[in-house]
Structure formats: C-alpha cells, structure tokens
C-alpha cells in the first residue's frame, strides 16, 4: 500500500498531454478569432467591430466545441498505457 497511485512517468505523460491540448485549443481559438473577427486578435481591436459580442461568442463556441471533441477522443485514447487504441475500442459500454 506504499505504491503511489500515479507514477512519475505518468505525471510526465499527463503534463505533456495537457500542454499539447492547451496549445492546440489556444491555436484553434486564435484561428477562430481571425476568421470571425475580421482578422483581429487583440481585445482592443475586436471591441471596435460591429457586433463584436456575437463574433466573440462564435469564436469561443468554436474553441469550446473543439475542446469537447478533443476530450472525447482523449477518453478513448487514454484508457491504457500499454495497449493500443484499437484494442477493445468499444469495450466500455458506459462510454457508448
């Protein structure tokens, strides 16, 4: 009962996964800002646009939906540290 729940290499894996996910979602948000906010990225520039609240809401929605999809994919890929993703993919009926 002295063994830790999360080993050192697992911590490293979790931190790297979190960092990659954060970078990707921030990049998606910036891309959505460029798309929906007429190429503006900074808040002071966006505030000067017509209907800036709606445009910001659209960009935030894109980032949120991307995060939700990424977490859904990660839930299937993070099931095991030593088995590939295609091994018993639909084995957990509660995730279906």
Cα–Cα distance measured from residue 55 to residue 50, given in angstroms and rounded to the nearest whole number = 9
What is this structure's pTM? 0.81
Q: What is the pLDDT of residues 9-47, one digit of tens each?
A: 889 988 998 999 999 999 999 999 999 999 999 999 999
pLDDT digits (tens, 9 = 90+) for 44-94: 999 999 999 999 999 999 999 999 999 988 887 777 777 777 777 777 777
- Cα 53 to the center of its chain, rounded Å: 23
């Amino acid at each position: 009962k002295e063994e830790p729940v999360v080993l050192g290499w697992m911590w490293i894996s979790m931190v790297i996964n979190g960092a990659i996910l954060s970078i990707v979602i921030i990049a998606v948000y910036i891309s959505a800002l460029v798309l929906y906010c007429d190429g503006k990225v900074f808040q002071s520039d966006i505030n000067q646009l017509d209907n800036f609240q709606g445009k910001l809401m659209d960009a935030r929605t894109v980032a949120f939906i991307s995060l939700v999809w990424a977490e859904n994919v990660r839930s299937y890929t993070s099931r095991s540290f030593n088995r590939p993703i295609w091994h018993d993919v639909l084995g957990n009926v509660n995730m279906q």
